[in-house]
Amino acid sequence: MKGLADLWFLSDLNGKRDITTDLVRHKGNTKAVITAKADGMIAGIDEVKWLCSNHPRFAGITTKFTSKDGSRVRKGQSIGLISGKYGTLMATERIILNIMQRMSGIATHAASLASKVKRYSVVVASTRKTYFGPLDKWACVLGGCASHRLGLWDAVLIKDNHLAAGVSLDFSKVRNAKFIDIEIEHLHQLGKVLGDLKAGKTKVIFMLDNFDIRKIPDAIRIIKGAGHHVELSGGITEKNLLKYAKLRPDFISMSELTQDASPLDISMEVTSTP
């Protein structure tokens, strides 16, 4: 979290000063109210509170939020109050709003998608196509979707490049992975990969990526018959989500979760300058 904030400060200030705020005579404390300008699900509050307590550039800022991450807010609803030195608030305003607007937008979109497939017992999952990395992932979780893998270190994802040229896979080397995810693009690939798999404790998921939708039911039958899980991915959007959910895979992963979510409109307005 601190590393992301450092990068954002470098982008905003480039190691220099806020030359606009320098024009303002007021140097004391001030207060600002954070307000939702649209209906949605709020997220990013915990991240803002952490920065205000731990990052030196947020020193002296105090927060009093009336909403919690994952809660619904209405247009015009006050989310919280933030106070501190005028210059510090102005220097951190954009970062605070960027975090809350993006995470809230993703959480709102995730909640909408999760509700669409709930009746089919399908879990919508994010991908690693993110801008804010783990913050995007957490926003998906707040909205009721799954984070999938966080990076290259916590789960195995075997893609078509790993399977190229008949490469043999040694699954016995898997240690401390949340799951093994194997990307399959054609039905004929299933036989060899299933043959390489041996009984183990690690959950195995077969990702049917850009798979011929007419052949998905057969693939699901084979995979689940072998005791494994099914994930559908590739070209799945909000418009065609239900068509894939009705096939009843275990998971549907969508880059749209983090790539196409619109930021939730949130404002931060100064209310007093004592």
Summarize pLDDT for 33-63 with one digit per residue, the tens: 999 999 999 999 999 999 999 988 888 999 9
Residue 272 pLDDT exceeds 60: yes
Residue 114 C-beta-side C-alpha neighbours within 13 Å: 18
Mean pLDDT of the chain: 87
More confident residue, 4 or 69: 69
Q: What's residue 129's pLDDT?
A: 75
Q: What's residue 67's pLDDT?
A: 96
Strands 78-85 and 29-36 turn out to be antiparallel
Give mean pLDDT, residues 92-111: 95
More confident residue, 196 or 167: 196
Q: Where are the alpha helices (DSSP H) in the chain?
A: 2-13, 45-54, 86-117, 134-142, 160-163, 189-196, 216-225, 241-245, 256-259
Angle between helices 86-117 and 45-54 (to 10 degrees): 150
Proportion of the chain above pLDDT 70, given as a percent: 85
Summarize pLDDT for 57-89 with one digit per residue, the tens: 888 999 999 999 999 999 999 999 999 998 888
Domains of the chain: 2-112+262-272 (3.90.1170.20), 113-259 (3.20.20.70)
pTM, full prediction: 0.88
**Confidence tier at 16 by pLDDT (50, 70, 90):** low
Q: What's residue 241's pLDDT?
A: 97
- DSSP lists the bridge partners of residue 203 as 179
